[in-house]
């Protein structure tokens, strides 16, 4: 009996050691924690370290796999009792938030806005982002005084966001560009516009690498912009086919 108990203790101890060694860090496998639901988080279109040194891999992992996933999970939780929020395309819901039941309206505004903002954000970034060219640079020249002036004004506006929010270049149906900011997770679709590009100035977007130096993050971020994707968004906005 004694030897059996001892052996059992040994086995348990060994199991404990093996478990501890096997799980030194929590792996956030995409989607595994999410309730089944109509809203989905798309995988990043590039590795998490693809934007280094401008945005570090750890920030990308936490930002995409946890922050964005949380917005998606919250939406799926709302959709359990309010399936109508998933019955229309996201831009239609965001453009008519007053149609959302009051009890969940703020939650849908924040989480669907966050889902839309981040979907756009991942899409317009990437490695080897190329140059602004074609129709989109013509519009930047025409409406915003050229690329350098636009970037300086965009960075300044992003620096002035007090608390959490976004800085955007919005695009109208006619293709006109304007630099604007929004608080929290508000998205220009809520005002009948579209985001051509947007940068996240919530601290979670940059704090690990830049701490309080938001201006440095805003400046460096342009190195992570994928201008081909931006050009495609501009064409889609003018064609009326741009989603979020
Ligand atoms: Mn964010």
**CA 99 to ligand 1 center in whole angstroms:** 26
**CA 135 to ligand 1 center in whole angstroms:** 29
pLDDT value of position 89: 97
**CA 21 to ligand 1 center in whole angstroms:** 32
What does the alpha-carbon distance between residue 3 and residue 18 come to, in Å, rounded to a whole number? 22
**Spatial contact of 186 and 94, defined as CB atoms under 8 Å apart:** no
**CA 225 to ligand 1 center in whole angstroms:** 16
| Angle of helix 134-144 versus helix 227-239 axis, rounded to 10 | 80
**CA 119 to ligand 1 center in whole angstroms:** 10
**CA 203 to ligand 1 center in whole angstroms:** 8
pLDDT value of position 17: 39
**CA 164 to ligand 1 center in whole angstroms:** 9
Q: Measured in whole angstroms, how far is the alpha carbon of residue 125 from the centre of its chain?
A: 10
213: Cβ–Cβ under 8 A, 6 or more apart, which residues?
A: none
**CA 90 to ligand 1 center in whole angstroms:** 18
pLDDT value of position 4: 45
84 phi, psi to nearest 5 deg: -65, -25
What does the alpha-carbon distance between residue 177 and residue 173 come to, in Å, rounded to a whole number? 10
**Spatial contact of 124 and 201, defined as CB atoms under 8 Å apart:** no
What is the CB neighbour count within 10 angstroms for residue 102? 7
The conformational region for residue 156 under phi > 0 = left, psi -120 to 50 = alpha, else beta, is alpha
SS3 40: coil
Q: State the chain's mean pLDDT as an integer.
A: 89
Please choose, from the candidates 176, 181, 177, 149, the residue with its C-alpha nearest in 3D space to the C-alpha of residue 162: 181
Residues in the chain, pLDDT under 70:
1-35
**CA 52 to ligand 1 center in whole angstroms:** 17
What does the alpha-carbon distance between residue 126 and residue 225 come to, in Å, rounded to a whole number? 6
């Amino acid at each position: 009996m004694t030897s059996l108990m001892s052996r059992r203790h040994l086995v348990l101890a060994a199991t404990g050691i093996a478990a501890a060694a096997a799980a030194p860090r929590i792996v956030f496998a995409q989607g595994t924690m999410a309730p089944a639901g109509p809203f989905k988080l798309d995988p990043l279109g590039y590795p998490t370290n693809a934007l280094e040194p401008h945005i570090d891999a750890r920030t990308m992992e936490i930002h995409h796999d946890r922050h964005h996933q949380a917005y998606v999970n919250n939406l799926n939780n709302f959709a359990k009792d309010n399936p109508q929020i998933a019955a229309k395309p996201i831009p239609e819901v965001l453009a008519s938030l007053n149609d959302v039941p009051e009890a969940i309206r703020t939650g849908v505004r924040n989480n669907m806005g966050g889902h839309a903002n981040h979907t756009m954000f991942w899409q317009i970034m990437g490695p080897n982002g190329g140059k602004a060219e074609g129709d989109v640079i013509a519009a930047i020249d025409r409406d915003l005084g050229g690329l350098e002036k636009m970037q300086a004004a965009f960075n300044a506006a992003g620096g002035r966001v007090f608390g959490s929010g976004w800085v955007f270049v919005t695009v109208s149906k006619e293709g006109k560009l304007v630099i604007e900011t929004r608080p929290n997770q508000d998205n220009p679709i809520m005002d009948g516009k579209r985001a051509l590009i947007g940068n996240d100035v919530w601290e979670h977007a940059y704090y690990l690498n830049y701490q309080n130096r938001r201006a440095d993050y805003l400046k460096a971020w342009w190195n992570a912009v994928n201008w081909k994707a931006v050009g495609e968004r501009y064409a889609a906005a003018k064609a009326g086919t741009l989603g979020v």
